[in-house]
Amino acid sequence: MHFLILSVACSVMVSVLLKLAPRRGIDIAQAVTWNYLAASGLALLVLRPSLQSLQGAQTPWLALLGLAVALPGIFLVLARAVREAGIVRSDVAQRLSLLLSLAAAFLLFNEPADVWKLAGLGLGLLAIVGVSARSGDAHGHGNSCGWLLAVWAGFALIDVMLKQVALAGTPSTSALLVSFSIAFVLMLLWQLWRHFSGRTRLSLRNLGYGLLLGLINFGNILFYVRAHQAMPHSPATIFAGMNIGVVCLGALVGMLVFGEKTSVMNRIGLALAVLAIGLIARGALS
């Protein structure tokens, strides 16, 4: 259980670092770039994935390349959502991306639907409406709703790509290493272009912040994997604990530490999100 708690804490800490970045004068794009340097290095050293599995003709290189583009893309979107809408609503939108993933599983991967999952899907859609509603404070203006929906859809897209990679027989650790490495190369090329074109300057400050972000981001993944390994017969418990834990801890940190305000609709959305995740996890047990 301690692995699950650590994974939840790391997930929320990523949002905290994204929240603090503008206040510290951090260039998010640079930080995300160095994040993938740290993540790919740690994946190679800690997970020790087998690269032999990538040499076969069945390796889904198109999906892996898609992940390499989508992963940093959703990181940048999440950073903007945290800035515009706050940690509370952004973390809920991120975790409710499982609704679209579940719908994709029904439509694309022939996963059987049951009453629990369908009920969770319905409540989750209502939760998205509640969470996306204006909160009444500085975070509730502008395009915050659009950024929240982008987080919701973006994380679901990544989950679908990961399922496609898994169905092709590529080990998840190998897929992550390759995706992280390609993402770093692509982001580094972009940062070099920004630097030499005079749009921004590369700095050690952004490097340090990005490496810290990568360490916490990798910790989230590692501890989640370790939680599944420690409780191999309880995947639904890990799934529910992770998602509900992030929603609840993110709400506490956002409101108590950063003073984010939530409307009645937002709080109803939070409650519905927790209930929806619980119902979907119950469906996974049947």
What does the pLDDT look like over 221-247, one tens digit per residue? 999 989 988 888 777 788 889 999 999
pLDDT of residue 286: 67
- Round to whole Å and give the CA distance between 85 and 143: 9
Q: Alpha-carbon distance 14 to 220, whole Å?
A: 9
The C-alpha angle with vertex 139 and arms to 136 and 144, in degrees rounded to 5, equals 105
Write down the pLDDT at residue 239: 85
For residue 284, what pLDDT is reported?
A: 77
pLDDT digits (tens, 9 = 90+) for 7-60: 999 999 999 999 999 999 999 999 999 999 999 999 999 988 888 878 877 889
Count of residues making up the chain: 286
Kindly report the pTM of this predicted structure. 0.91
Q: Are 239 and 16 in contact (CB under 8 A)?
A: no
pLDDT in the model for residue 74: 96
pLDDT for residue 184: 98
Q: How far apart are CA 185 and CA 146, in angstroms?
A: 29
Q: Which residue has the tokens 């804490």?
A: 9
Q: What is the pLDDT of residue 62?
A: 92
Q: What is the CA radius of gyration of the chain?
A: 19
Give the three-class secondary structure for 126.
helix
Q: Which residues of the chain have pLDDT under 50?
A: 138-141
Nearest CA to 43 out of 170, 177, 175, 172 is that of: 177
State percent of the chain over pLDDT 70.
97
